[in-house]
Structure formats: C-alpha cells, structure tokens
Structure 1
Amino acid sequence: MNKLFVALTFAASLLVGAHASAQPEKPTVVLVHGAFADASSWNGVVQILEKDGYPVVAAANPLRGVKSDATSISNLIASIAHPVVLVGHSYGGNVISEAANDRPNVKALVYVSAFAPETGETVAGLAGKFPGSTLGPTLAPAVPLADGGKDLYIQQDKFHDQFAADVAAPQAALMAATQRPVTEAALNEKAGNPAWKHIASWYIYGDKDKNIPPQAMAFMAKRVNAREAEVIQGASHVVMVSHPEAVARLIEKAATAN
C-alpha cells in the first residue's frame, strides 16, 4: 500500500509539473523612472508585481538626453529573452516611446503620469501645452556641467508640495534628498518616431498633478488611443508611490491583454 501511494504521489507530481511547465511565462515588466526621481520610486509597484509572479526590472534611467536614455533602455530590453511590458513615468514616458522601437519583444506600453510625445515634440513643450504646471518656479539654480549643459533639481523645501503632495512628509523628504537631476537639454530634445503608434498602450495619472497638467495627460492618453486610461482622484505626480496598487493592476492588465 505504501509503495502504491508513493507511486501515485510521484505520478501526480509529474503531472502537476508538466502542467506548470506548459503555462506561458509572464512577461517581464521593465519600469523606467522619470526626472527628479530614481528607480526606488517603483518600490511599491515592484512588491505587488513580484508577489503576483511577474519578473521585474526597475531600470536606472540616465536622464541625460532622450535618444541616449532610450538607447540605454533599449539595450536593456534586448538582453531580456521574454516578452516585455515597458512602463514609463513622467519624462520616462518619452524614453519608452523611443526605446520600444525595433524591439519586437515589447508587447505593451504603460504611461504613468507620463509624457507620450509625437514626433518632434519636447517634454517642455508638452508641459506648457495646457495651463497648470507649476514646476518652473520650484526648480533650484541650474548646476553647470563640464560639457556646457545644465542639471536641474527641484528645491528640496518645495519638493513635497510640487512633486509628491499625497505622499507622507517623511517619505517625500527622502525622495527630495535622493532625487536625480535631469539635464535641461533632455527636456528640450525633440522626440523621434513614437512606438505608441504601433504598440498597444495604457495610461494612468492623477488629477492633482502639478508637474504635468492633467489636461495634457488626458490629451496624450486619447492621442495614443490608450486601451484604458485611468484617472486617480487626488493623486499627485508620483501616482506610483501614493497608489501602487492601482498602477500595478493596470500594468497587469497590459501584461495579460491580447
């Protein structure tokens, strides 16, 4: 009896293993942060996605220039053998729009409070297309670079209200201290041909965003023909920090869509 039980148990385990191996692997989610942030801004989203079985890479976006940043992310995508859901926040939306080109493993784009430019548009131009952005006066004096360019930061004492108003003050203070600068040139660099023209897209943003006017994001979500555009009431620019569950769920919808 014991031998029969062992044999049946072993056979059952083989069947379960065979069934599991036959299941399609979940796509890898590549998260691209924007200006004045870093990869840790995705921590809450990463925890949810990994719990749900998704491989995740929170990429380090150089924030030096649209084309060079897109090349960096594109190289990362090329190293991933499985399908990819590419997610961008803020300026990172500009980057993913170019990085996904010529990468057939990218199955979906997700814009999180992000820019989704048309060819020739700039981040600065899109931010000013509609009224409402209050970013300019909160920027610290530009930091001169050796190549003649300039790095931009948000003044730390203005960071909470401007960038992350719906995040607890202690966490916003940490984000302010660890923010990574973006070059002035990157915000004024013209976009190339956007991948959203041929890759299915999703969009999520907050209606209290002070960096990118919500009206501008509604315009961009409609233009990319987003399969789903979700507006989070009361959310700031860092909706992935204050509402990681909503952002993760939208990413998972993109990952499972046909």
Structure 2
Amino acid sequence: MSTFPALLLVHGAWHGAWCWQPLMDHLPDLDVRTVALPSSGQDPTALGDLYDDAGAVGEAITAIGRSTVVVGHSYGGCPVTEVAAAVPNVHRVIYLSALMQDVGDSVLSLVGGVHPPYWDVHDQPREGKDCGYFEAAKPLEALYGDVEPHLARQSVARLGRQSLASVTQPLTQAAWRTVPSTYILCEEDIAIPLPLQEAMAARAERTVRLSSGHSPFLSQPAELARVLRDELALSSRDRRTCPL
C-alpha cells in the first residue's frame, strides 16, 4: 500500500468518471478514486445541482476514510470548494484549471451572468424551478484542442448534459481558506483562459504550470501524473510534520 494520501478525482461539467482513465493508467500504484457528479448526465430531468455534487464529493471523501488529496477539474472545483473543508481527512485541494471561487460566488457570477459561447443552453422552467441544462458547443475546440483526434472524438461522444442549477447556485463555503491548496495552470486552455486561471490561482498556496489545453488528463496524462505524484509527495511530507 502506498504511503501517499489517497487521491480523489472530481470531473468537470458534462463529463463523468470515465474521463480520468488515461491518467489513472499512469498511477497504478496509488489509491486513486473517482466520483460521478449528479449535475452531469444524459437525462436532463434527473440532473442534480451544485449542492448535490458537493454531497457526492463529501460522501466519497468520507468513504475513503484516510488522508486524501482532492483534485477538482474545471467546474469540479466548485463542489470541491463547497465541501472539502467540512470533511476532516482532506489534506490538500488541487485545482486543475478549475474554478476557485469565494463564498457567494457562482459559475455565472464569474462571467457576469452571461452564458459563455461554448454553452448550448436549454431553458426548461418547471414548477418554479430552473430545470434547464446546457450542452458543450464546439467541444473539440474548447475542451479537447490538443487531445489526439480519435480520443477527442470518443470523448465528445460520451459528454452528457449539465444542469443550469449547478452554475447559478452560490458557494456557501470556500475550502481554500482553511485547507492547503495547489493550482495547476493549463496555459493553452480556451475554456478557462489563462488570465482568469491566474487570477484565481493567486489564492492558492502553490501553483504549477502545464503547457496544455483544458483536458491534460487526456492530452498529457503522463505529465499530469508526474505533477500529481509530486504534489502527493509534498502532501505526504507535510502530513508527517502535521498529521491529520
């Protein structure tokens, strides 16, 4: 059994746990877990919201039952930020080109309440609730620009829908205020441009740079695995100094 903390991978909008497999193939000796966010899926009537996602992440962390480093990618940074400080075994949060926001912020507040051009929005109000969803428009360009073409097309075919509620609800907690954090900047990202990443990364204890697009777990899994191993090694050292 590895002496490193466990690693929990939290995907972003439209994705599922499937997206992490190329990365996990490079981490066979580590205790790596994934979680499926309820806000993402194929059935738009069954999609959860931000708080459902945070609950799923919290349950996954609790189930691990030992020191854990949590990685949030893109939107996945939101539920991680919401819940990670409330679970005692979280040792570090890693934001992978992810949203690293403060209490009261939502995804839409970050972009001035205007849907980004790579969202294909479907409003479906029902019984006073926003039951709408959005799909990824031009995902090959926005999400997978540097991914091998065949793998990129396979990934596009597996994308689901994302609930609008998940991007309109505000954060009630901000884990990075009390939990050590690292931000991995993806320098060629189109979906979350580098200046926006850098502004959020100013809140992190450490920053790391990758010359990659939005999805390095698909385009550069070996390099991302190396970065995560380095972070786990640092976290393991920190844990020996100040154990949970």
Q: Smaller-chain TM-score range?
A: 0.7 to 0.9
Q: Which amino acid aligns with 1:239?
A: P
Determine if contact 2:106/2:171 at 8 Å carries over to the other structure: yes
CA distance in 1, matches of 2:139, 2:38: 21
Residue from 42, 45, 51 that aligns with 1:67: 51
Whichever of the two has the greater Rg, that structure is: 1
Which residue matches 2:199?
219
Alignment of 1:170-185 (within 5 A): 170-185=150-165
**Structure 1 residue 54 displacement after superposition:** 1.0
Q: Is residue 2:41 matched to residue 1:41?
A: no
Percent identical: 27
Q: Is residue 2:54 matched to residue 1:78?
A: no
The SS at the match of 2:202 is: helix
**Structure 1 residue 141 displacement after superposition:** 4.5
Q: Is residue 2:131 matched to residue 1:154?
A: no
**Structure 1 residue 127 displacement after superposition:** 4.3
CA distance in 1, matches of 2:86, 2:166: 22
The SS at the match of 2:86 is: coil
Which residue matches 1:19?
none
Equivalenced residue count is 225
Q: 1:32 to 1:145 in 2, by over 3 A?
A: farther
In structure 1, the gaps of 5 or more residues are 1-22
The SS at the match of 1:41 is: helix
Q: In angstroms, what is the RMSD of aligned CA positions?
A: 2.2
Which residue matches 2:242?
none
Residue from 14, 33, 43 that aligns with 1:57: 33
Task: Return structure 1 stretches of 4+ with deviation > 6 angstroms.
Answer: none
Which residue matches 2:232?
255
The SS at the match of 2:92 is: strand
CA distance in 1, matches of 2:69, 2:31: 10
Show CA shifts across 1:94-145 (max 9, x none).
Answer: 111122122111111111110011111111222459xxx9x83333351637
CA distance in 2, matches of 1:180, 1:145: 20
More strand per residue? 2
CA distance in 1, matches of 2:121, 2:112: 20
Q: Which amino acid aligns with 1:232?
A: L
Stretch deviating more after TM superposition (84-93 or 169-178): 169-178
Which residue matches 2:45?
none
Alignment of 1:101-180 (within 5 A): 101-127=85-111, 136-142=116-122, 144=124, 148-155=130-137, 158-180=138-160
Q: 1:24 to 1:149 in 2, by over 3 A?
A: closer
The SS at the match of 1:203 is: strand
